[in-house]
Amino acid sequence: MHSRIQGVEILELGEKGKEKSSPWSSTILLLKLTSSDGVVGYGEAPTTLMTLPVKESLREVERVFKGADFYNIEDNIRSFYRNSFYLSKSMEATSALSAFEIASWDLIGKSLGAPVHDLIGGVMRDTVRAYANGWYSNCQDPEEFVGSAKKAVSKGLTALKFDPFGPCFDSIDREGLTRARNIVSAMRSELGDKVDLLIECHGRFSKRAAISVGRSLQDLDIFFIEEPLHPELEHLLPEFKREVKIPVALGERVLSKTEFAKLISKGYVDVIQPDITNFRGILEGQKVASIADAFGIPVAYHNAFGPIQTAATLNLDVGIPNFLIQESFEEFWPDWKRNLLKSGYSLSHGSFSLSGKPGIGVEVNEAVLEEYAIDGMEPFDPSEPPWVVSGTYNSPGSSGTGSDAGKTDNKGRGMK
């Protein structure tokens, strides 16, 4: 008879007084499950201006999973699906469910003495190519972007994702287009063709603005352009793709394999970016990779939160046939987040490697869990949305086109 989930701990971590609004540098939510025979498994849930709602959702999922056989992942997920009426539309619910799913896999792997990747198909590659994100904090002009990019490349990274659009939101004027073009052009000129450039739009544009942006950049050899349209306007992606010859990537806000199947089968997307902490975990991540593979679509999992998420995602990356590239903030995390794991994976010369240890492969530093425990919402800065890299939303001399002008001190706001 299998062991069962006996203990459930929901942990919020952050650095008191130094938090920033961007979730990749601020709070994270961890889930610690303990089995009835003493095995510990970890999962993670995202926080982007929804820390407390996700924490409450974790407590709702607990009511289904606590006492359950953690091997029965499909059945446990179906049980929550049956009871969670709005699951298909609630990122809070799917995020909480994802944390339990990932932690269950960690328990299974540790109980069997096997890495998760060996339990879901094995390994096709020993290393996983990474692209950097978070490297361009406080960059405003082309020279600053290029300077920070060269520092990232010096660490061995060969692909960089960035948002060059400053305060433009929904619409973009000629000044905004020129500024973005100058930044990307400088990056291409200074870095040459050995570094791939990935453009992040953060789902901020109307159709007309997105097409203008795409047209202005498409001669600069862009690896992909991410979320060029507002998520509500994804049905207009065929029109965007007719006008812009840059591969379209999206997926971090898609909550199920069913929704991905619609986007893929309709030809809306060229690269999918599922986030396994957003949309039900590792099994769903593998299923949607298989759907994409049937249509010749590569996978680049979204990965913007913490090291438990990275470790879990890497267990998929090493084994799926249609892997493309993996997002990484690791080199640009605050120290406490870098020190959260004693072991689990490494990032060297632009590539990840897994530890090969059982479960998702991590050993958690319990001292960090104690020292950086916090409680409360992540900080809020009305002048800069939490989805941007800090210090990039308001451009020098900008009137705040499409944004709230002005900056405020957001250190520690909302935390206790």
Q: Could you please report the per-residue DSSP string of 210-240?
A: HHHHHHHHTTS-EEEEE--B-GGGGGGHHHH
Strands (E), 90-165: 128-132, 159-162
Specify the 3-state DSSP secondary structure of 9.
Answer: strand
Transcribe 77-106 into DSSP letters: HHHHHHH-TTGGG-HHHHHHHHHHHHHHHH
The predicted-structure confidence for 348-398, as pLDDT tens digits, reads as follows 999 999 999 999 999 999 999 999 999 988 777 888 888 899 899 986 544
With beta carbons less than 8 A apart as the criterion, state whether 400 and 394 touch.
yes
Within 8 A by CB and 6+ apart from 359, the residues are 41, 105, 106, 107, 108, 109, 110, 115, 116
Q: What is the pLDDT of residue 22?
A: 61
Give the mean model confidence (pLDDT) for residues 321-325.
98
With beta carbons less than 8 A apart as the criterion, state whether 223 and 193 touch.
no
Q: What does the mean pLDDT of the chain come to?
A: 92
Locate tokens 């601020």: which residue?
Answer: 26
| pLDDT band (50, 70, 90) for residue 413 | very low
- Report the C-alpha gap between 303 and 340 in whole angstroms: 16
Q: Return the structure tokens found at 274.
A: 């599922």
Q: What is the pLDDT of residue 407?
A: 36
- Report the C-alpha gap between 289 and 383 in whole angstroms: 37
- Report the C-alpha gap between 53 and 91 in whole angstroms: 10
Burial (CB count within 10 angstroms: exposed 0-12, middle 13-18, buried 19+), residue 396? exposed
Which listed residue (2, 202, 230, 235) is catalytic? 202
CA angle in degrees (0–180, nearest 5) for 8-311-336? 75
Residue 51: its H or E element: helix 51-65
| pLDDT band (50, 70, 90) for residue 47 | confident
Q: What is the pLDDT of residue 270?
A: 98
- Report the C-alpha gap between 305 and 386 in whole angstroms: 12
Residue 169 has pLDDT above 90, yes or no: yes
Helices (H) and strands (E) in the chain, counts: 13, 14
Which listed residue (2, 230, 302, 349) is catalytic? 302
Within 8 A by CB and 6+ apart from 133, the residues are 24, 160, 161, 162, 200, 304, 327, 328, 329, 332, 389
Strand bridging mode 196-200 / 159-162: parallel
CATH 3.40.50.740 at 118-360, yes or no: no
- Report the C-alpha gap between 162 and 160 in whole angstroms: 7
The number of CA neighbours under 13 Å toward the Cβ of 242 is 6
The answer to whether 302 is a known catalytic residue is: yes
Residue 152: its H or E element: helix 142-154
Domain boundaries, the chain: 118-360
Q: What is the pLDDT of residue 410?
A: 34
How much of the chain exceeds pLDDT 90, in percent?
86
Helices (H), 268-390: 282-294, 307-317, 335-338, 366-371
Residue 202 has pLDDT above 50, yes or no: yes
| Other CB atoms within 10 A of residue 346 CB | 12
With beta carbons less than 8 A apart as the criterion, state whether 36 and 23 touch.
no
The answer to whether 230 is a known catalytic residue is: no
DSSP class of residue 322 equals T
Residue 272: its H or E element: strand 271-272
- Report the C-alpha gap between 323 and 351 in whole angstroms: 13
Residue 82 has pLDDT above 80, yes or no: yes
| pLDDT band (50, 70, 90) for residue 399 | very low
| pLDDT band (50, 70, 90) for residue 146 | very high
- Report the C-alpha gap between 93 and 70 in whole angstroms: 19
Within 8 A by CB and 6+ apart from 155, the residues are 132, 331, 350
